[in-house]
Amino acid sequence: MLGSGSAGNATLVRHAGNRVLLDAGFSYRELSRRLREVRVDPGMLDAILITHGHGDHTRGLRMLSKRHGVRTWATAAVRDEWRSMDGVDWRELAPGAAVDLGGLRFIPFEVPHDASETVAFRIETPEGAIGYATDIGKLTPLLIERFRDCRLLVIESNHATELLRVSPYARSTRERIAGDGGHLSNESLAAFVRDHLGASVRCLVLAHLSRVNNLPELARMTCREALSGSGRTDVDVVVACQDRVTPTIELAAWAQPATSPPAAPRQTALPFPVPPGASPDPAGNEVRSR
Ligand SMILES: [Zn+2]
Ligand SMILES: [Zn+2]
CB-side neighbour CA atoms (13 Å) of 223: 29
Instruction: Point out the ligand nearest to the CA of residue 156.
Output: 2
CB 63 within 8 Å of CB 35: no
In a domain, residue 285? The reply is no
Task: Determine the distance separating the centroid of ligand 2 and the alpha carbon of 191, expressed in angstroms.
Answer: 21
C-alpha distances out from residue 122 to 10, 100, 144, Å: 16, 12, 11
Instruction: Point out the ligand nearest to the CA of residue 25.
Output: 2
Task: Determine the distance separating the centroid of ligand 2 and the alpha carbon of 54, expressed in angstroms.
Answer: 6
pLDDT exceeds cutoff 50 at 32? yes
Domain containing 219: what range? 11-246
In a domain, residue 5? The reply is no
In a domain, residue 261? The reply is no
In a domain, residue 269? The reply is no
CB-proximal residues (5 Å) to ion ligand 1: 54, 135
Task: Determine the distance separating the centroid of ligand 1 and the alpha carbon of 118, expressed in angstroms.
Answer: 8
CB 178 within 8 Å of CB 161: yes
Task: Determine the distance separating the centroid of ligand 2 and the alpha carbon of 6, expressed in angstroms.
Answer: 6
Strand pairing partners for 203? 152, 236
What percentage of residues in the chain have a pLDDT greater than 90? 81
In tens, the pLDDT along 64-102 reads 988 999 999 999 999 988 776 677 889 999 999 999 998
Per the structure, the count of domains in the chain is: 1
pLDDT exceeds cutoff 80 at 278? no
Task: Determine the distance separating the centroid of ligand 1 and the alpha carbon of 259, expressed in angstroms.
Answer: 38
Residue among 54, 77, 38, 46 at smallest CA distance from 6: 54
Cβ atoms < 10 Å from Cβ of 148: 16
Task: Determine the distance separating the centroid of ligand 2 and the alpha carbon of 208, expressed in angstroms.
Answer: 7
Task: Determine the distance separating the centroid of ligand 1 and the alpha carbon of 78, expressed in angstroms.
Answer: 12
pLDDT exceeds cutoff 70 at 284? no
DSSP summary character for residue 38? T
In a domain, residue 158? The reply is yes
In a domain, residue 123? The reply is yes
Mean pLDDT of the chain: 88
CB 62 within 8 Å of CB 85: yes
Task: Find the CATH number of the domain harbouring 139.
Answer: 3.60.15.10
What does the alpha-carbon distance between residue 6 and residue 183 come to, in Å, rounded to a whole number? 10
Cα angle at 24 between 73 and 271, to 5 degrees? 105
In a domain, residue 197? The reply is yes
What does the alpha-carbon distance between residue 180 and residue 184 come to, in Å, rounded to a whole number? 9
Instruction: Point out the ligand nearest to the CA of residue 4.
Output: 2
In a domain, residue 195? The reply is yes
171 burial via Cβ count (<10 Å: 0-12, 13-18, 19+): exposed
pTM of the model: 0.86
pLDDT exceeds cutoff 60 at 47? yes
DSSP summary character for residue 188? H
